[in-house]
Each structure stands twice: as structure tokens, then as C-alpha cells.
A and B are shown apart, each in its own frame.
Chain A
Amino acid sequence: MKNFSITAVVAGAIAIGGAGAAQAWQPTKPVEFVVTSGAGGGTDNFARMVQSIITKHKLLEQPVVVVNKGGGSGAEGYVHGKAGKGDPHRVVFGTNNAYLLPYVAKLGYKPADLTPVAALALDEFLLWVKGDAPYADAKAYIEAVKAKPNGFKMAGSQSKDTDQTLTSMIQGATGAKWIYVPFQGGSAAATQLAGGHVDSNTNNPNENVGQWKAGQVKPLCVFSPVRLAKSDPVFDGKGWGDIPTCKEAGLPLETFQMPRTVWLPAEVPADAVTFYEGILEKVSQTPEWKEFVSRTAQTGRFMKGKEFADFVAQDEAANKKVFEAEGWIAK
């Protein structure tokens, strides 16, 4: 153990020295990774992947302890982050719910209680229908839904979360109208679609890949400005890169993506933010991270500083519009 920690210190020092910039701040005790989802959730996989890469490449000289605080769809973790005001040893992993949750629920934290650090990837959303559904493309399906308002069912994760927001955006852009059925999570939405109990869902690639492989579901389009990265064929000779973007498919809705974000509590030293930015940027460049991103068909995109802040502002505004239109804003 002792031996290990010495090597870790040396390796850490080299790694940081290698970064060039004189970084004043260093963790002085074990670093806590707060995961804003339960064990096994998407954010949990994200944080544990980052942890395993940091450990493998010895990017931190202090040990990392992962804590799951997924209550209130992540609010518990952010509140925990708020409680660590000024403590840069508490790193919070989440999604865009960090700044969206306080809109739809009355919670004990505000986005200002967190310091943005970086985003490492964008999770994509696709429009899926059952494998044997008669629709050749997204346009045909939307037309069918439009012809029969409230005759089709859309499955997704809990209400007022990303899936329902996206459904609302599609409805706003096309005039179609679904019955939205909220389930406990993406995997339940996937099996409900495979079993034919609902007509479509807007799952992330990772949540539906098993069912797609078996031909039980099929993707119609991806809500991204560009197509997904090319991949090995998943089903029937088609891979992720062969799925048209929704814009190509004739849907007037270009993009809907969910950032995988990292935060620190408020009032931490600026050096500490720079320190974690550096480490996370290194993580995002490792082959393990690239492999993780492509396996889960996410889009790897490292954002920090102003780029990240701009992204947040834009994403927040787009979502807020939907929340207001749907009357979801918590009083």
C-alpha cells in the first residue's frame, strides 16, 4: 500500500508537471466523487469510468471515494455539493439536471451553489419505434401520430425530465401529440417498447442497443446536428453512423443532447477548478475514455471555461422555454 502511494505521488507530480502550467492547488485529502444517480445509472457509469481512468493512469495522488446520492433524481447529490461550500475535495458528477432541476422542483439548492468545471461528453437521443413497425422513416411515423392525436404512446424516464422535454419539443415542432408514459428509467422504457406496450421512445443509444441488436426496436433518427460516429453494424447491416439526423429525416428539430457534467461546490479557489479541468481533459484524451464513449455511442466533446458556460446558457434557455410552455416551472 505504502509503496503504491509513493509511486502514485511521483506519477501524479510528473503528470502535473507535464501539464506545464504552475498549478498552486493540490488535493490534500481523499477526493469525494458525488454521483447524482443511483448505482448502475448513467451518471454512475460515467463517474466510475472517470474514476477507473484516474486510478489506472494515476492522475490524482489522493485516493478517490465514490458516493452515490441519487435521491430526488440527483437533487440529493447537488444539495450535498452545496453543503461542501468552499471545499474543493468534493466533485459532483451529473448531467444538465444540475441547472434544470431547480426549475421544475422546489429544491434546497440553486445552480449558483455549484461551480462549473467541465463537460466530457454529450449523450444523444434517438427516436425509436418497434422493430416491426410499418414506418420507414421519422416523417412517416410523425404523420401517423399527427393523424391520430393522443392515439400513440411515448415511453420515457420520469416526468419533467429529458425524455418528456424532448417529446414536448417534438410536439411543438411538428404538431403531433402523444400520450407520454413515464417509467422508472430508460431500460424500462426500452423493454416496454420491445414488448409493444408503447409505440416509441426517445432513449439514449446505450439504453436501446440490446433491443436493437435483436431487431425488437429500430431507430428512426438522431437529434443531433451531425450523424453519430461510424460503428460496426448493429442490426441488419446498419450501424450508428447510418441513422439519419432528424433534420435530414424532415423533422424541424435539429438538436437535443444531454451533457455529462462535472461540478465543484461554490467558492472554491480558482486554482482548484483549473486543477480538475486539467485532470478531466487528460481523462478525455485517454484511449479508455474514447472506447467508453464509442461503446455507449455518446459524442465525446470536452468543454471547459467559457465554452462550457456558453453551452449551459444555451441549453438552459432552450429547456426553460419548454418548461414554461408546459407549465412545469415550480413556484
Chain B
Amino acid sequence: MDNIANLMHGFSVALTTHHILLMMAGVLLGILVGVLPGLGAPNGVSLLLPLTFSMDPVSAIILLTSLYWGALFGGSTTSILFNIPGEPSSVATTFDGHPMAKQGKATEALSFAFLSAGIGAMAGVILITVLSGWVASFALRFSSPEFFAVYFITFASFIGLGGSSPFKAIVAMGVGFALASIGMDSVSGNIRLTYDFDVLLAGVSFLIAVIGLFGIGELMLTMEEGLRFNGISAKVRARDVLKTAAKLPRYWVALLRSSAIGIWMGITPGGPTAASFMSYAMAKRSSRRGANFGKGEPEGVIAPETADHAAGSAAMLPMLALGIPGSATAAVMMGGLMIWGLNPGPTLFTDRPDFVWGLIASMYLGNVVAVIVVLATVPLFASILRIPFSIVGPVIVVVCFIGAFTVASKEFDIWLALIFGFVGYFFKKLDYPIAPLILAMVIGDKAEDAFRQSMIFSQGSLSIFWSNPLVTTLMSLGLILLLMPLIGTIFRRLRALGKTRAA
């Protein structure tokens, strides 16, 4: 195995005290930007970029990727503790993570999240090690129809979840789609739905919506219930972290499935956000404890976290091998690669093996370091919940609005976050599901672009979605997922009918 030998060489490059210290620094900074909503990994990476100009490329990328891991972990922390996802990809973590925290199981939720995230990331890195050559050529086969099919699968797997009224689910998803289409439409080059307001030129950032809907909206509900986190007296013991770790193997099916989904979405490249949503939906559908999802089921934390990190690390491969930045963070890192004099693209593996394999080795090490560092911070973060809510609440409010402002340095955004707070409060009180809204906001415009690009390719013929084996498989998978709940219902009804007849 050539790759293994290369990897060993990589370890010899990456494993130095200097690098381990850089990893720890990167992870800690990453947690900081991840915990502050609004400041995300892309901000963190672009701010550190100037510092790395004078470093050698291997050290530089180690620092930046460690910051990226740290930010991903930090994003999950706020999702669980305060219901405010720090990153788009940790939205799905709030669904069960926050209920767990409210029940006094914050330590457990955080430990599950971090450990499964670490496992997911490892799965992604192992894939990169083993399949680097193959994946690079596979991703090239993706064009607009295939991208659309991937987004379609994500939507399809999410539809039919949750018990609220279908009308309300449609409204929520439609609002998300509509918000996503504000601003520049790259397919036509038109600026849409800004109603001549300059503040809408850049569109409505998904992060602002999340800060309002989840952060402020959740606080309003908590206040209405009377100012308390339930289970606030739960003790935080370092031992609980280890206990949770011992429970993890029980969820091996969820871990495996979520890793597979994450890896698949990372290389296809649907991205970590789609991966975490899809993984959550799949876990809910297939789990025997599916009814508990949304009420604090550990599997509902494990599934999105594993997939999120598996996709996050697997997505590094298309970036290195093809020069496709899979995310905003990857785009900034690619800018960095060019400044350090490296050209991301198919030849990077052959031109600079020391860099590539050093990076891959550092992904193994970086994730181990990150998991250790964040697990060490679990008791610290979990004990934040023990501070009286009349202090924590207002501080969260301040963090939310400052976070909303830092997203794009726009005053308008803090007003928008306030409006979204009201929307979130009323939506939750009236049983409108919020997840479809967020999902539509995050990948709605990408799905629309991919669809319209496909139509340009085919000059208006829908047959393009069944034009080759790859896209046909993807679309069929999506259709099956879409129709499964329906078929299931019909099947059950028929059986019930048969039974009544028999009786």
C-alpha cells in the first residue's frame, strides 16, 4: 500500500512538538469562534491567514485546519447548551442536544457529541487515506444534475418527519426557500426580491435567521415558562465524560450509518450541513426509539454530529484534489494555499506529497488533540448552566445580537435577528416546524441553481435527471425516500383494512 507508506511519512512530518502546540492553539481559538454565534470558521480562518504567511505551508495548514475542527466542536457546544447553532452544520444537533441539556444531561450530550464527532472525523480521514486517488476522479463526474439530485435526496429524507400539520411544514419550508432566493441570482445575473432595499442585496444570512429563531425565540419561550432551565442542579463530574464514552459503543449502528452518510455527502460533495440533516432524518426513521427523537434522544445527537464531521473532513479531499472548495472555510483555505505558493488541484498530490500527506496525518492527530481538548472543557461548559439564568439569559441575548452584527457588520441584521426571534417564538408556540425552514434556507438556493443549470444543459428537458447511471441512481434514491412514508401509510392502512375485514 503506497498510501500507507505515504501516511507514515506524513506522520513523521506532522508529529513534532511545535505542530502539536499549534494544533492545541488552533483548536482553542476554533472553540472560541465556534462558541460565538456569527463568528464562524471562515472568519477565524481568514483572520489567522495573515499570521500564516511567514510559516511553512505544513505548519500553516495545521493551524488553520485545527481551528476548523475547533470551530466545528464549538458550534455543537452552543447548539446543545443554548439551542444556538454556531455553524449551519450543527443545527440538527440542537434537535435532541438541547432537550438533553434541559433535562440536566448536558455533560452526557456534550460528551456524546464530541466523541461521535471525533469518530466521524476519523472515518472521513481514513477514507481520504485509502481512497484519495479514486475519489478525486469520482467527484469530477458531478455536474449540475447530480448536485441537484443530492440536494433532492436531502429534502426527500427530511420530508415526512415530525408530526406537525403538513400545511405548516409547507409554509415553513416555503418561507425558507423564499428567503434563500433574496439577493443575487447567479444563473440569471439578476438581483431578486430586494424590493429596492440596499440592505437586502447580500440576501438574508442563514446565521441571522438561526440566531433569531433558535436563540432569541428559545429565550422567549423559556421566559414564558418562568425563568428556569430544568434540571439546573445536575452535577457536573469529570467522571460522567468517561461513563458516556463507555456507552458509546452501544450506538455502533448509528455511528456506522452516519459516518457512511457523512463521507458520501463529503465527497459528492453535498457538504456537512446536508449530511447532518440527512443523517438525523435517517436515524429517526430507522431507530426503534424514533418516537423519542426531538425529546432528548442520544442517538439524535450522535447521528448528526458523526455525519457532520465525517463530511467536514471528507470534504477536504475535493478541495485538495480538485480545487473545489466545498465550503466557505475551504474557499478561504484555498486562498491560503495559493498564497503559500501551492496550487490546489489534481497535481498537488504528486507535486507536494510532503504537504498533502503531512496534512492528512495532521488531520488524524488534530482530531485526537481536538477531542481531548474539548472533552476537557465539557465540565467547564456544562457548569455554565449552573449560573443563575437571570445572568446567563441576558448575556446570551448580548452574545446573540453581537454575533448577528459580526456576521456581516450590518446594523440591519440586528433588527432582522429581533424579527426572527418573534417568528421563532410564535412558530414554536403554534407548532410550525423550524427545521425545514433552516434546511430550505441553507440549500434551497443551491438546489435551485443546480436545477436551472441542468435545464440550461438540457435546454429545458427534465430527462437530464435520468441521463446517466449516476444521476439516475441518485434521483431514484430520492424518490424512494420521498415516497416511503406515503407507501408505509398506505401499506398500514391496507393491512388495517384487511384486519377489520378478517374480523
Q: Which of A37-45, A237-245, A266-274 lines the interface with chain B?
A: A37-45
**Interface residue? A319 (CB, 8 A):** no
**Interface residue? B126 (CB, 8 A):** no
Please determine whether B338 and A51 come into contact, CB atoms closer than 8 angstroms: no
**Interface residue? A181 (CB, 8 A):** yes
Please determine whether B143 and A195 come into contact, CB atoms closer than 8 angstroms: yes
**Which parts of A171-208 form the interface with B (CB within 8 Å)?**
179-184, 187-188, 190-192, 194-197, 206
Q: Which residue of A lies closest to B202 (CB)?
A: A71
8 Å CB contact of A71 from B46, B183, B351, B456: B183
**Interface residue? B334 (CB, 8 A):** yes
Please determine whether B331 and A72 come into contact, CB atoms closer than 8 angstroms: no
Please determine whether A72 and B142 come into contact, CB atoms closer than 8 angstroms: no
**Interface residue? B408 (CB, 8 A):** yes
Please determine whether A295 and B338 come into contact, CB atoms closer than 8 angstroms: yes
Please determine whether B325 and A183 come into contact, CB atoms closer than 8 angstroms: no
- Most chain A Cβ neighbours within 10 Å, of B323, B328, B339: B323
- Known interface pairs A38-B328, A69-B202; A191-B323 also in contact (CB < 8 Å): yes
- Complex alpha-carbon distance, A71 and B141, angstroms: 30
Q: Which residue of B lies closest to A157 (CB)?
A: B186
Contact flags A104-140 to B (C-beta < 8 A → 1, else 0) = 1111100000000000000000000000000000000
Q: Which residue of A lies closest to B322 (CB)?
A: A191
Q: Which residue of B lies closest to A196 (CB)?
A: B140
8 Å CB contact of B325 from A40, A69, A70: A40
- Complex alpha-carbon distance, A38 and B345, angstroms: 21
8 Å CB contact of A209 from B328, B332, B341, B345: B345
Please determine whether A72 and B183 come into contact, CB atoms closer than 8 angstroms: yes
8 Å CB contact of B184 from A71, A214, A295: A71
Contact flags B185-206 to A (C-beta < 8 A → 1, else 0) = 0111111001010100111000
Please determine whether A191 and B343 come into contact, CB atoms closer than 8 angstroms: no
Task: Tell me what chain A mostly uses at the interface: helix, strand, loop, or mixed.
Answer: mixed
- Complex alpha-carbon distance, A59 and B325, angstroms: 33
Please determine whether B343 and A210 come into contact, CB atoms closer than 8 angstroms: yes
- Known interface pairs A39-B331, A70-B202, A211-B345; A182-B186 also in contact (CB < 8 Å): yes
- Known interface pairs A40-B328, A158-B189; A183-B453 also in contact (CB < 8 Å): yes
- Most chain B Cβ neighbours within 10 Å, of A68, A206, A328: A68
Specify which chain A residues have a CB less than 8 angstroms from the CB of B139 in the assembled complex: 191
**Interface residue? B17 (CB, 8 A):** no
- Complex alpha-carbon distance, A75 and B190, angstroms: 12
8 Å CB contact of B196 from A73, A104, A106: A106
Specify which chain A residues have a CB less than 8 angstroms from the CB of B49 in the assembled complex: 48
Please determine whether A158 and B184 come into contact, CB atoms closer than 8 angstroms: yes
Q: Which of A9-17, A159-167, A257-265 lines the interface with chain B?
A: A159-167
- Complex alpha-carbon distance, A150 and B456, angstroms: 11
**Interface residue? B12 (CB, 8 A):** no
- Complex alpha-carbon distance, A276 and B220, angstroms: 49
Least CB distance from A56 to B in Å reads 8
8 Å CB contact of A48 from B50, B196, B333: B50
Please determine whether A72 and B184 come into contact, CB atoms closer than 8 angstroms: yes
Least CB distance from B106 to A in Å reads 33
**Interface residue? B120 (CB, 8 A):** no
Contact flags B12-45 to A (C-beta < 8 A → 1, else 0) = 0000000000000000000000000000001100
Q: Which residue of B lies closest to A295 (CB)?
A: B341
- Complex alpha-carbon distance, A188 and B319, angstroms: 11
Specify which chain A residues have a CB less than 8 angstroms from the CB of B344 in the assembled complex: 210
- Most chain A Cβ neighbours within 10 Å, of B144, B344, B346: B346
- Most chain B Cβ neighbours within 10 Å, of A39, A49, A73, A158: A39
Specify which chain B residues have a CB less than 8 angstroms from the CB of A76 in the assembled complex: 198, 201-202
- Most chain B Cβ neighbours within 10 Å, of A70, A191, A216, A295: A191
- Complex alpha-carbon distance, A295 and B342, angstroms: 10
- Complex alpha-carbon distance, A107 and B202, angstroms: 12
Least CB distance from B257 to A in Å reads 29
Please determine whether B186 and A108 come into contact, CB atoms closer than 8 angstroms: no
Specify which chain B residues have a CB less than 8 angstroms from the CB of A309 in the assembled complex: none
Please determine whether B345 and A213 come into contact, CB atoms closer than 8 angstroms: yes
**Interface residue? A7 (CB, 8 A):** no
Specify which chain B residues have a CB less than 8 angstroms from the CB of A206 in the assembled complex: 338
- Complex alpha-carbon distance, A291 and B426, angstroms: 56
Specify which chain B residues have a CB less than 8 angstroms from the CB of A210 in the assembled complex: 322-323, 343-348
Least CB distance from A283 to B in Å reads 15
**Interface residue? B251 (CB, 8 A):** no
8 Å CB contact of A45 from B323, B335, B453: B335
Specify which chain A residues have a CB less than 8 angstroms from the CB of B191 in the assembled complex: 72, 75, 105-107
- Known interface pairs A40-B331, A69-B408, A160-B189; A296-B338 also in contact (CB < 8 Å): yes
- Most chain A Cβ neighbours within 10 Å, of B50, B139, B186: B186
8 Å CB contact of A79 from B201, B346, B347: B201
Specify which chain B residues have a CB less than 8 angstroms from the CB of A169 in the assembled complex: none
8 Å CB contact of A195 from B141, B184, B339, B343: B141
**Interface residue? A153 (CB, 8 A):** yes
Q: Which residue of B lies closest to A182 (CB)?
A: B187
**Interface residue? A286 (CB, 8 A):** no
Please determine whether A159 and B143 come into contact, CB atoms closer than 8 angstroms: no
**Interface residue? B409 (CB, 8 A):** yes
- Complex alpha-carbon distance, A55 and B53, angstroms: 12
List 16 additional A-B contacts (Cβ < 8 Å) besides A158-B186, A182-B186: A68-B408, A71-B183, A72-B184, A72-B202, A75-B191, A108-B201, A157-B186, A159-B189, A160-B188, A179-B459, A183-B186, A191-B322, A197-B457, A211-B346, A213-B351, A214-B345
Binding site for A on B (CB under 8 A): 42-43, 46, 49-50, 53, 139-144, 183-184, 186-191, 194, 196, 198, 201-203, 322-325, 328, 331-335, 338-339, 341, 343-348, 351, 408-409, 449, 453, 456-457, 459
The list of the 10 closest CB pairs from A to B, nearest first, reads: A210-B345, A71-B202, A40-B331, A160-B189, A159-B189, A158-B186, A214-B346, A72-B201, A195-B140, A197-B143
**8 A-B interface contacts by CB (under 8 A):** A48-B46, A107-B191, A153-B457, A182-B186, A182-B188, A184-B186, A210-B346, A211-B345
